[in-house]
Amino acid sequence: MIALIDYNMGNLLSVHKALESVGGDIRIVDKAADLKQFDSVVLPGVGHFGDGMEHLRSRGFEPAVVEAARSGKPLLGICLGMQMMLDSSEEAPGVKGLGIFKGKVHRFPEGDEKVPHMGWNTVKLQQKSKFFDGVADNSYFYFVHSFYVSPEAANCVLGSCNYIREFAAVIGRGNICATQFHPEKSQNNGLRILQNFIAASR
């Protein structure tokens, strides 16, 4: 079974529906202690980094998510869920992230291009990953974000995207995968990633 974390900051319905459509056995979980019962964990999210971390902490999810990452369970972070896996964000100075990946979250610089980055864009695969089996290089995915992650370790970047600058669109290692784009809104390519996540959970 897959735990979909409810911390009042995620688009749970669309993520739940997408996972279910590709064969996932999903449960929405709002109690941190319950995560231990599940084979894998999804951390979704939309909104502000500081608010997201506050909601996670107030519901006791911070140590539970970090433990899930260390345990070997498949863990998927989506959008804000990805950003919170890093140490900190310019969106919320002084607020600590989960620290699953070392690095920071930066805001796109102002310029000729609009911020937020919104719509379809291609992802260039940087290395082989089980989460991208069957997904072609330079496939399109759907993005909505004003901030991007900058991990310290280049070898955790699974895929990159170019908007204003090149940034990490997917990071991961071992059992963990995190996407800046929304797989649940990315049609067949996004559903394939969710399907691969489910396969890794079995």
The residues facing 160 across adjacent strands are 124, 168
Instruction: Tell me which of 62, 79, 145, 156 is the catalytic residue.
Output: 79
How many C-alpha atoms does 34 have within 13 Å on its Cβ side? Answer: 12
Catalytic residue among 55, 161, 177, 184: 184
Catalytic residue (one of 16, 55, 117, 182): 182
Quick one: 66 exposed, middle or buried, by C-beta within 10 A (0-12, 13-18, 19+)? middle
Active site residue 79: yes
How many CB atoms within 10 Å of residue 149?
27
Residue with tokens 């990159």: 160
- Cα-Cα end-to-end distance for the chain: 9
| The residue to which tokens 């600058």 are assigned | 165
Catalytic annotation present for 182: yes
Coil/strand/helix, residue 156: helix
Q: 194 by DSSP, 3-state: which?
A: helix
Q: How far is 155 from 90, CA to CA, in rounded Å?
A: 23
Cis peptide before 116 (omega within 30 of 0): yes
- Return the active site residues: 79, 182, 184
